[in-house]
Structure 1
Amino acid sequence: MENIPLLTDIVILMAISVPISILLTRMGLPTVIGFLVTGVIIGPYGFGLVTEIGTVETLSQIGIVLLLFTIGLEFSITRMLSLRREGILGGGFQVGITVLVVFAVGILLGYPMQVSLLLGFIISLSSTAIVLKLLLDKGEVNSPHGNLSLGILIFQDLCVVLMVMVIQSIGGKGASSTIEIARGLGLSIIAFFIIVIAVTYLIPRLFNQVVKLRNREVFILTIVLVCLGTALVTSLFGLSLALGAFIAGLAISESEYSDQIVADVIPFRDTFSSLFFISIGMLLDFHYLISNLPVIIGVVIAIMAIKSLALVGVGQILKYPLRLSIAAGLNLAQIGEFSFILIKMGEDFGLLGESLYQGLLASAIITMAATPFIFQRSSKIALGVGRRLGRHARESVKKSSLSNHVIIVGYGVNGRNLARVLKETAITHVIMDVNMERVREAKSGGHKAVFGDASHPEIIKALGVDTAKMVVVAISDPISTRRIVKTARDQNPAVSILVRTRYLKEVEDLYRLGANQVIPEEFETSVEIFARVLRDYRVPGNIIQNQIDLIRQEGYAMFRNPSIAGERLTKLTAILEKTVMDTFYVDKGCMVAGKTLAALDLRKKTGATIIAIVRNGEARTNPPADYLIEDGDILVILGSHAQLNQAFELLNEKCPA
């Protein structure tokens, strides 16, 4: 009888994690907590149910690689370049400030300089896997605090290389000199850019060839090869596996295959990433945690306080609103997965004693476990604290003297296009954004633009909302959007408020808060998709517009009144099913040719209507009654199924084959 220990271990951990995750989900708690609890239960310090711990940890690393690969797929190189400010400046300040503070605290507590520096490195890193997963699940990756978090996390991952080299130099037997460290770091940076260029050039071309085979198995194997292969190559140059996978995802993010790749990878990603969180829980010595609980809780609070305050400071340096700085600080307050590598190195090199080693492990795991709970409340906490402490930000905007103007909140793609059109049509407008670079860009484009957070009542009041004709909110922060709508409505009951939102589920709340019009991206994307499909089938433009108007009228009415959504959806579906369009070619010898539409009288005889006639490749829509039909014309006919059948019977009688 075959005995496969790894298979037994995987079955055990899945059998325990599934019911725990179900229970926590019913309680409204994140599944990450269930995976961590599972790890504690089955690990060597729990019931010791798993024997192949090393193999499970290896599989968990594949989970991180796949997670970062899919995250890379959802971004673009252009967007990554736009985050250089958050990455280089934000990440540099965050890592530098945190390391310096922790180093100083370590020296004050009597730890040697090497140990204090190691503690600074460990605590400065945050969890890329946890934070990005939470941001993705909540749809906040593109929000301002999501951009700040992402930029800092990427910089931290790059810093892991330098940190490993420094630890090896201060703790390894073959200590490295400063010159050797600098040389190694320089080679790693050069290797990073070489890999980015090579991957960006090769991978899209590889997928172009694979897709031509039309073989799904080969396509999936190529995905795995690209993901794991790029991760392996980066690791050979001293960079992290996860960073290599992120680069691979980024390289094909702008290709037409990215959506299919994400769909194929997600099941593998979710399975293996769950193993990562379980393996983290397996490291925790529960007995040590219980016996030293007060001290560990104090350390956890100190760690999260230091990291949060450092990030708030970084946000203020980058001129982010205090509220967004606080939200990013709370979201990145945990110790990261790469810190476990540094902790293990510290133990191997004799820098960390057993007590300090277990204390760091316990503290790191608790900060990770607390992150989902903090994340759920971070926006509300940041909003409350920001309102109390952010008074200075309100003084930076002078009261506007404009009237009958448009206030544009957010200078992204939508805000930029709207501002350009308003400028060309000489409509007075003012732009507000929390990104200073965008404010400068708007000013250089000849627009009146100010920096600030429009969710503050004083800020939006200074924009002249009481005399404005319209407020257009086009930002990716749902909390701020709701607050801006409510504040604008409270200050000016007569102002027209138009809001762009990402998801249909937010529409009802925004209308309730006072928005006049809400445009959900999901819905408008679906409208654009079917409109383009109809254009490709050469459906006349007026018919497409009629369908668009019908869908929008019925659709937006459903959003405004969800209680009758089911009834209206049924009605809408029935309308669309009943209305059918078809074409009829007038061949030579057909008796229809030479007749006017009035003489044919198709509508009176069958109920169907000729809505357009295509002649020589050009469509004549809504042709008049005296329009003469000629050989070679294509009649575009609209009607129900029964009406079209009668119309085609009549036409076929006049046009025998």
Structure 2
Amino acid sequence: MSELAPLITDLGIILVVAGCVMILFKWLKQPVILGYIVAGFITGPSVSFLPTVSDTSDIKIWADIGVIFLLFAMGLEFSFRKLLNVGLSAMVATVTIVCGMMFLGYVAGNMMGFSHITSLFLGGMLSMSSTAIVFKAFNDMNLLQQKFTGIVLGILVVEDLVGVVMLVVLSTLAASSQFEGTALLGSLMKLVSFLVFWSVLGIYLLPTLINRIKRFVSDEILLVVSLGLCLLMVMIAVRAGFSSALGAFVMGSLLAETSESERISRVVQPVKDLFAAVFFVSVGMMIDPMVIRDYIVPILLLTLLVLAGQSFFGTFGVLLSGQPLKLAMKSGFSLTQVGEFAFIIASLGVSLKVTDTHLYPIIVAVSVITTFCTPYMIRFSEPAYRFVDRHLPVWGKQALSRYVSGSISEKHQNDWHRLLRGMIVGVSVYLVLCIGVIVIFFSKIHPFIQGHLPGLQGDLLGALILLAVLSPLLWAMVVKKNHSPEFRRLWADNLVNRGALSSLVLIKIILCITIVMSVVVRLFNVASGLGLVIALLVVAGLYFSKRIRKRSLEIEEQFEANFQGPDEEKKSSSLFDGVGDTTSLSDLHAVDFTVQPNSVCVGKTLKTLAFRTRYRVNIITIGRGDAVIDIPQGDEMLYPYDKITVVGTDEDLSQFARALEQKEACAGGGTSSRKGTRITNVCVDEHSSLLGKSVGEVKSDRAIILGVERGKEVVKNPSPAFVFQSGDIVWMVASFRKPV
């Protein structure tokens, strides 16, 4: 009788133990990931009195497959369109959190005696929160209808992308074992090229292919095709010099752009769950009780660092993006855990053999503790806000109120669009030119100079020549669009814009410093710190040089003629002229609900249900199969499994959800992601088409009036007889879906 291969017996042990532990954790209402880690600890080498895995090398293969499918599933939930929808707030907050936690993690690692590369990996691990844990906590605590949860989930979407980029950056740093500006810059440019190429493929080729074959594709075929495409992209990414995780994430994000994305997510989910379970079980196998005992102090210190650091930087980042203090604190306190990306980063460090061996069990222990603390930190955000609000001085409250009061208007969204487009195009062109000049210099010119003038003198001459060529390009990169009409209007509008605009300028300055620093370090082989100081001085000098400015403007004119099309014709609808800034109704947001078959809503019209009158909420979108009805009228009837998008305040939506739940009417589905409608505000002035008209006169199938602010008075859901006056700020839901 033949014996079973160790791979089969080990997998059987893992699944049986994991199943038993998961039942226990489900009963205890604890996160799934913790159950997997505990199961891994039980089946690992640290526990000898129970059946354990005999060959951990085989499990590592399963775990690697688990990482691939885990990142593939994250990509399916990501999509480039979702990245655009999360808005500037989530991006600003994410950058603040990641940079802050990376810095704290690196400093803490150095203080604990870790190597520099280990400290970098530690900073990366501590900066990544857990999408799965946060979403489950929100769901268990019935918070998905709250506005701050949408902000948090948006931050987590951006963090997924940052985490993938971080894998590439850390891999590059690990390979060189030190900071090399040119190598890192080259890897990042290679990554950008890779992502751009496959993004084009995803937008123009893959969705078209899926649409043409979907009538021939069953769930079984779709599963095979999707996983095949995933593994194909993994092969391409690895051969291009990237990680398998990046390839899986990219293919997932490409399939997320197709019409079958939800169906693919559904059929792939069981496969992802199976292999992700094996991955997290393998994480638990790495836990060594002796290491945890020996490093209990660093574990506790890192736990406190995550709880305090994520709370502070999360709150500060969301506050910096223009959200109120209460929303910012709730968001920041929700991100206080070490997520699944930390395990992937830790696995990368172990596989590359660049991190200290005891870092893995330490980060696992920190993750377990912070995961348990997550619900309590979310609950603690409310009393923490009340404490801060009580002790915050009056001038501080007034400053925050002025900063937050600058909501971005429809008119200014056009300004932002033009400004960002001009900056991105300009910076991209100049950045590519700078990199091209540097590559040509080091491949052709520098060897020629060294051949005729070797040593330090040749390096100095080469540096002068290179900087003379780069200076106009670097000056343009920093200054371009900083004095444009859009920039000046946005700067003069409010403090929120000033924070975002300053961040954009700072990013351009950092790019220039990075370029100069890489040249200095490469030419003179100096330490990174000295290279940074020299780069700062050089960039400051060229910024204030009139001669460089003149030359740069000449080059800029040529660049705009070659790379920039004609400026868009300035268009402005009278409806959106003079949009004002307001905060009283700015907490309005949208939430999706699914109509269940046994709902009392089924078969009734919106007029009969009277949601607007009873709960002060508005139905702005109805999704029915592939059809989407924007701004539905009162005679529209609800059917089973309709997805209705509802707009209201946190309090109104909570009352609405509780009432529906008591009647077993509709089930909440999370923050809305509809792309056909948006909440906006307009200011009524002497040029506005609303002036002197009533709500009934301007009512249409393209907009719903949510409320009006008149001085300090707020009128929610105004009656049809309500007449608009000059100075009114009107909040509405507008439809911008293009006709099919």
Contact 1:5 1:52 in 2 (8 A): yes
Contact kept in structure 2, 1:64 and 1:129, CA below 8 Å: no
CA distance in structure 2 between the aligned counterparts of 1:302 and 1:560, rounded to whole angstroms: 37
Equivalents in 1 of 2:252, 2:658: separation in Å? 39
CA 1:218–1:435 in 2, change beyond 3 Å: closer, same or farther? farther
- The question of 1:259 aligning with 2:262 is answered yes
Q: Deviations over 1:271-328 (max 9, x none)?
A: 2211121111111102332454355323332344334433333333333434444434
Partner of residue 375, structure 1: 374
Alpha-carbon deviation of 1:218?
A: 2.8
1:340 to 333, 336, 346: 346
| Structure 1 gap segments, 5+ residues each | 399-408, 413-433, 452-462, 464-470, 477-499, 534-540, 570-657
2:343 partner SS: coil
What are the residue-to-residue correspondences of 1:408-487 with 2, within 5 Å?
446-451=578-583, 463=584, 474-475=588-589
Question: Aligned partners of 2:106 and 2:384: how far apart in 1?
Answer: 28
Q: How far did residue 235 of structure 1 move?
A: 3.6
- Bigger Cα displacement from structure 2, 281-290 vs 368-377: 368-377
- The superposition leaves residues 60-80 of structure 1 with CA deviations (integer Å, 9 ceiling, x where unpaired) of 343343344334334543331
CA pair 262-180 structure 1, distance change in 2 beyond 3 A:
closer
* Residue equivalent to 1:418: none
Q: Note the C-alpha offset of 1:110.
A: 5.6
Aligned to 1:288: 291
Match of 1:331 in 2: 335
Structure-2 change in CA distance of 1:95 and 1:547 (3 Å): closer
Name whichever of 183-192 and 285-294 sits farther off.
285-294
Alignment match, 1:161: 168
* 1:386 and 2:385 matched: yes
After TM superposition, give the deviation of residue 43 of structure 1 in Å.
Answer: 1.0
CA drift at 1:23: 1.4
Equivalents in 2 of 1:152, 1:283: separation in Å? 25
Shift of 1:147: 0.8
Conservation of the 8 A alpha-carbon contact between 2:210 and 2:258 = no
Shift of 1:2: 4.2
Equivalent position of 2:614 in the other structure: 516
Counterpart CA distance in 2 for 1:72 and 1:372 is: 23
| Residues paired across the two proteins, number | 473
1:546 deviation in Å?
8.5
Distance 1:76 1:338, change over 3 A: closer
Distance in 1 (alpha carbons) for counterparts of 2:661 and 2:109: 60
- Quote how far apart the aligned CAs of 1:116 are: 4.2
| Alignment check: 8 A CA contact 2:44 2:52 kept | yes
Counterpart of 1:23 in structure 2 is 24
- Which residue of 2 is the match for residue 39 of structure 1? 40
Cα distance change, pair 302–219 in 1 and its aligned pair in 2 (3 A): closer
Contact 2:40-2:284 at 8 Å conserved across structures: yes
Name the CA shift for 1:316/1:240 in 2 (closer, same or farther; >3 Å). Answer: farther
Decide whether the 8 Å contact of 2:41 with 2:287 is kept in 1.
yes
Question: Are residue 185 (structure 1) and residue 157 (structure 2) matched?
Answer: no
- CA distance in 2: counterparts of 1:187 and 1:550, whole angstroms: 49
Give SS of 1:143's match: helix
CA distance in 2 between partners of 1:4 and 1:550 (Å): 50
Alpha-carbon distance in structure 1 between the residues aligned to 2:639 and 2:187:
62
1:274 to 257, 277, 299: 277
Q: Distance in 2 between matches of 1:226 and 1:308?
A: 39
SS, match of residue 30 in structure 2: coil
The 1:65–1:444 alpha-carbon spacing in structure 2 relative to 1, beyond 3 Å, is farther
Q: Following the alignment from structure 1 to structure 2, what is the Cα–Cα distance between the partners of residues 529 and 519?
A: 23
Query: In structure 2, how many angstroms separate the alpha carbons of the residues matched to 1:276 and 1:289?
Result: 21
Superposed displacement of residue 44, structure 1:
1.9
Equivalent AA in structure 1 for residue 614 of structure 2: N
Q: Deviations over 1:417-448 (max 9, x none)?
A: xxxxxxxxxxxxxxxxx9979x9999966443
How far apart are 1:563 and its partner, in Å?
9.9
Distance verdict in 2 for CA 1:206–1:18, change over 3 Å = same
Change (3 A) 1:532 1:121: closer
Secondary structure class of the residue paired with 1:205? helix
> Equivalent residue for 2:228?
225
Give me the TM-score of the superposition, normalised by structure 2.
0.53
What are the equivalent positions in structure 2 for 1:9-408 lying under 5 Å apart? 9-47=10-48, 49-83=52-86, 85=88, 89-108=92-111, 113=116, 116-127=119-130, 143-170=150-177, 177-326=180-329, 327-328=331-332, 330-334=334-338, 336-344=342-350, 348-349=353-354, 352=356, 357-358=357-358, 360-390=359-389, 391=392, 392=396, 396-397=400-401
Q: Distance in 2 between matches of 1:334 and 1:559?
A: 31
Any idea what SS the aligned residue of 2:582 has?
strand
- Secondary structure of the residue aligned to 1:249 is helix
SS of 2:156's partner is helix
TM, length-normalised to structure 1: 0.59
Q: CA 1:69–1:131 in structure 2 vs 1: closer, same or farther (change >3 Å)?
A: farther
Rounded to whole Å, the distance in 2 between the matches of 1:504 and 1:341 is 43
The amino acid that maps onto 2:360 is L
Compare 101-110 and 73-82 and name the one that shifted more: 101-110
1:16/1:545 Cα in 2 relative to 1: closer, same or farther (>3 Å)?
A: same
| Contact 1:161-1:238 within 8 A present in 2 as well | no
Deviation of 1:159 after TM superposition, in Å, equals 2.0
Distance in 2 between the 1:503 and 1:524 partners? Answer: 12
CA distance in 1, matches of 2:63, 2:17: 17
Deviation at 1:109, TM superposition (A): 5.2
| 2:38 alignment partner AA | V
Cα deviation code 1:459-501 (max 9, x no counterpart): xxxx3xxxxxxx796425xxxxxxxxxxxxxxxxxxxxxxx66
8 Å CA contact 1:231–1:242 kept in 2: the answer is yes
| Residues 181-190 or 301-310, more deviating | 301-310
Q: Residue 737 of structure 2 aligns with which residue?
A: none
Contact 1:43 1:50 in 2 (8 A): yes
